[in-house]
Structures are given as structure tokens and as C-alpha cells.
């Protein structure tokens, strides 16, 4: 075979090989593009799951109670305790409290009959704002305040204001030593059961309202308050006769009576 006859064959084979190389290169480019898209989609999916998971975790760790006021309080009023409402415009009383605080217990027990009577006859609404104020002063050595506040909120959410009010009394009547570990989860659950709030065991142990209580405490400090209990009667802070003393029951009652008449 002559060289003239071989040249067309070589050109044809060369052209065929060139086309195959181009097709192979195209397949590689397509493969790389698809691979990049898959990786990007995977990264987006992972990132999306991470954001979702973080949101879910945050929601679980810092739930906002449905029954709370915008200021982090829980209202007990005439209707909650008696089932009826007189329709009068009651005096608003706000009590910033810490269930670990001896002064809070002293004020609560000395004014309990006044509060109970005035709520039931429609003279006052009481907004309780539970704090973990003392936990912070203990340098993180105890969560007594936080656990008690969380348990009280669990009861409010599960069984309402009356059950919360009754548990509030129990927690002060059984108050443990300041700075100690506080009650066990089972003890909190037992207290809750006694006021008709069954089924709050997981809420007590999981502490979903811990961050909420901490935020309420931060807001309390930001307002310039520095001790518990802090008592507001129609927005006015009620103080003791001298520095570091609690308002007397008579002074508390007089402040309510004055606000009711104004």
C-alpha cells in the first residue's frame, strides 16, 4: 500500500481520536460540575440542619411560658382564686421574689393573710416575678432559686394561677437553707402533685424556663433594683422604715388602701 493511501486513514484516525478526547473532556467537565453541585447541596443541607437543630435546642433550653406577662411575671387575681370577678379596677401589686431568699419568706408569711384577702375581694392583682437572684450571688454554687422558679412556672403552665399560688406558699413554708442545693426533682414533683399539677416531672427536671428566669433577673437588675423582695404597689417601690429593712404588714396594707382610693 502506498503512502498516499495511508495518509487519509491516519487523518481519519486522528480526527476520530480528537473527537473522543473532546467527548472525554466534556464528560470530565460535566462530572466535576455535578460533583460541585452535589457538594454544595450537601453543605447547604448540613448547614440548614445545623441551624434548625440550634433553633430547636435554643427553644428547648429557653422556652417562654405562655402564661407570662411581658415583664416575666405571673398574675394571680380574684377570678383565679374565687372563680368570680367583681369587675372593679384592682390595684396592681408586683412582687419580685427569690424562693431561696429568707427576707422573701419573712415578707410572704407576714403579709399572706392581707394578700389572700385582698386578692379574693378584688382589691389587688398580684404579679409574681420569680428570680434566681441569690444563685448569682452564690457564684454558681447552687441552682436552688432557678430550680424553684422553674418548678413554679411549670405548675402555672400546667395547672393555672391558683395552683401556682398554692405552690408559692408551699415553697416558702418549706424553704431550705440559703446557699444549699434546694429540693430534689422528686420533692418539687411531690409539691406540684399536692396542688393538682400532675405530669410536670419532665418540665421540672428539664428546666425549660431556666433562661427565661435568668432574663427576668437581668431585667430586674437593669431596672436598678438590688435586693429581694422588691415590692411595687401601683408602680411605686415600697421600702422599709430604714435601710435594709422590710416594709411592715401595716405599711404594705396602707399603701394598697391608699392606691385603691386614688
Cα dihedral angle (20, 23, 27, 29), rounded to 10 degrees? 120
| pTM, 2 dp | 0.77
Residue-level pLDDT at 161: 98
67 assigned to some structural domain:
no
* Lowest-confidence segment of 42-51, 92-101, 125-134, 153-162 by average pLDDT: 42-51
Provide the mean pLDDT of the chain.
Answer: 84
- The three grid cell numbers given for residue 89, joined into one nine-digit string: 379596677
3-state SS, 138-161, equals CCCCCCHHHHHHHHHHHHHHHHCH
66 assigned to some structural domain:
no
Q: pLDDT tens digits, residue range 155-207?
A: 999 999 999 999 999 999 999 999 999 999 999 999 999 999 999 999 999 99
Q: pLDDT tens digits, residue range 95-110?
A: 999 999 999 999 999 9
Q: Are residues 31 and 96 in the same domain?
A: no
Among candidate residues 61, 82, 108, the one where a domain is terminated: 61
How many domains are contained in the chain?
2
Q: Are residues 52 and 22 in the same domain?
A: yes
Q: What sign has the CA pseudo-torsion 24, 26, 29, 35?
A: negative
Phi–psi pair at 174, nearest 5 degrees: -105, 20
Residue-level pLDDT at 41: 32
Residue-level pLDDT at 88: 87
What 3-state class would DSSP assign to 238? strand
Asked if pLDDT for residue 21 goes beyond 90, the answer is no
CA-nearest of 210, 194, 84, 201 to 147 is: 210
Residue-level pLDDT at 36: 37
74-76: strand order across its sheet: 74-76, 124-130, 91-97, 230-233, 236-238
CA-nearest of 216, 217, 192 to 204 is: 192
16 assigned to some structural domain:
yes
Q: Which residue has the higher pLDDT, 213 or 42?
A: 213
Q: Are residues 145 and 89 in the same domain?
A: yes
Q: Is 120 exposed, middle or buried (0-12, 13-18, 19+ CB in 10 A)?
A: middle
Q: Are residues 114 and 195 in the same domain?
A: yes
49 assigned to some structural domain:
yes
Question: 25: domain range?
Answer: 1-61
- The band of 142, judged by pLDDT with boundaries at 50, 70 and 90, is very high
Amino acid at each position: 500500500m502506498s503512502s498516499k493511501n495511508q495518509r487519509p486513514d491516519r487523518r481519519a484516525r486522528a480526527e476520530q481520536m480528537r473527537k473522543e478526547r473532546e467527548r472525554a473532556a466534556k464528560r470530565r467537565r460535566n462530572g466535576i460540575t455535578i460533583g460541585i453541585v452535589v457538594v454544595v447541596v450537601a453543605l447547604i443541607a448540613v448547614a440548614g440542619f445545623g441551624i434548625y437543630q440550634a433553633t430547636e435546642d435554643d427553644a428547648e433550653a429557653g422556652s417562654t411560658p405562655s402564661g407570662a406577662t411581658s415583664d416575666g411575671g405571673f398574675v394571680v387575681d380574684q377570678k383565679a382564686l374565687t372563680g368570680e370577678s367583681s369587675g372593679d379596677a384592682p390595684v396592681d401589686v408586683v412582687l419580685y421574689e427569690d424562693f431561696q431568699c429568707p427576707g422573701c419568706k419573712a415578707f410572704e408569711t407576714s403579709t399572706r393573710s392581707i394578700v389572700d384577702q385582698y386578692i379574693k375581694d378584688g382589691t389587688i392583682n398580684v404579679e409574681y416575678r420569680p428570680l434566681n437572684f441569690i444563685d448569682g450571688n452564690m457564684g454558681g454554687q447552687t441552682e436552688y432559686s432557678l430550680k424553684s422558679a422553674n418548678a413554679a412556672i411549670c405548675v402555672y403552665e400546667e395547672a393555672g394561677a391558683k395552683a401556682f399560688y398554692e405552690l408559692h406558699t408551699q415553697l416558702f413554708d418549706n424553704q431550705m437553707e440559703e446557699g444549699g442545693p434546694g429540693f430534689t426533682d422528686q420533692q418539687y414533683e411531690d409539691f406540684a402533685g399536692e396542688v393538682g399539677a400532675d405530669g410536670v416531672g419532665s418540665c421540672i427536671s428539664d428546666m425549660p424556663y431556666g433562661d427565661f428566669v435568668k432574663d427576668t433577673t437581668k431585667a430586674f437588675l437593669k431596672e436598678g433594683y438590688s435586693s429581694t423582695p422588691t415590692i411595687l404597689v401601683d408602680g411605686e417601690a415600697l421600702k422599709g422604715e430604714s435601710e435594709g429593712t422590710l416594709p411592715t404588714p401595716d405599711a404594705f396594707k396602707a399603701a394598697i388602701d391608699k392606691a385603691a382610693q386614688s
